[in-house]
Homo-oligomer: A and B are copies of this chain.
Amino acid sequence: MKNGAYDDALDELALELVGMARWARAKGERIVVVFEGRDTAGKGGAIKAIHGRLDPRQCRIAALPKPSEDERTQWYFQRYTSHLPAAGEIVLFDRSWYNRAGVERVMGWASERQVAEFLRAAPIFEKMLVDDGIRLFKYWLSASQESQEERFRERLDDPLKRWKLSPTDVAARAKYADYTAAREAIFAATHTAWAPWTVVNFNDQKRGRLTLIRHLLDRLPDTHVEPEPIDWPDLGHDPLTEEFGVLSPIPDFPDGE
């Protein structure tokens, strides 16, 4: 997708996202969006496209680090529950509890028994949240191995992106089909009426973001809430300038030569 068309379309969607956030705050709505998918599919970029337009005090990203020793032995969902939203909040999960049946399964970090237990428990867990009034959306970002390879290559070659490449990524390349199988098992067990999955094609990441956001917005009820009017009187004097006593600004960054 061309940059110009993307920017225009995103700006239009952003207006609706901002409206949704105003509505969530006004009505005390709680929104959870789960982003899953293969490495490089574009989870981070999609999350940023939403988060970047909203008040970071209202819209949080939950990207959990590896579980600690203690967390590993707790109720599996425990460390996720502490990130669930209060009234008016929107939480974007960059990966989620599905790790157990995704990366942990494929990499052999969880036993088949743990995976089976998770797949049994996840729909029940999610139903509890939904029954409590949380609006839960689950997106799976899909990418062919061709585009995955391309993006891995980019991370390898671009020093700005090199940090995105982890040993797990290297191992993931040989396991593309295993991930496909793991995803199918996830869908079979957890695509429920109360918390359905939506698959979005992210071979074109920009288009993928628009598709996802459009879909998310369409699944919400009418979110129109009039913004509070703001009274904005004249300053009543000429604008003031900065006056420094103790310290002064350092020299500006120079124009390039």
Contacts and interface: CB of A to CB of B under 8 A. Distances in A.
A3 interface: no
A74 B78 contact: no
A227 interface: yes
A81 B156 CA distance: 37
B63 A57 contact: yes
Nearest to A245: B184
A193 interface: no
Which of A22, A180, A227, A240: most chain B CB closer than 10 A? Answer: A240
Contacts of A140: 247
Contacts of A174: 235
Contact of A160 (B53, B74, B124): B53
Nearest to A73: B87
A142 B63 contact: no
A9 to B, nearest CB: 6
Which of A160, A162, A188, A252: most chain B CB closer than 10 A? Answer: A252
Contact of A249 (B63, B131, B142, B232): B142
Nearest to A63: B56
Closest 4 CB pairs of A and B: A73-B87, A145-B239, A210-B253, A187-B246
Interface of A: 1, 5, 8-9, 11, 14-15, 18, 21-22, 28, 30, 44, 48, 52-57, 61, 63, 65, 68, 70-71, 73-78, 81-82, 84-88, 94, 117, 120-121, 124-125, 127-129, 131-132, 134, 140, 142-146, 148-149, 152, 156, 159-160, 162-165, 170, 173-174, 176-177, 180, 184, 187-188, 191, 197-201, 204, 207-208, 210-211, 214-215, 227, 230-232, 235, 239-253, 255-256
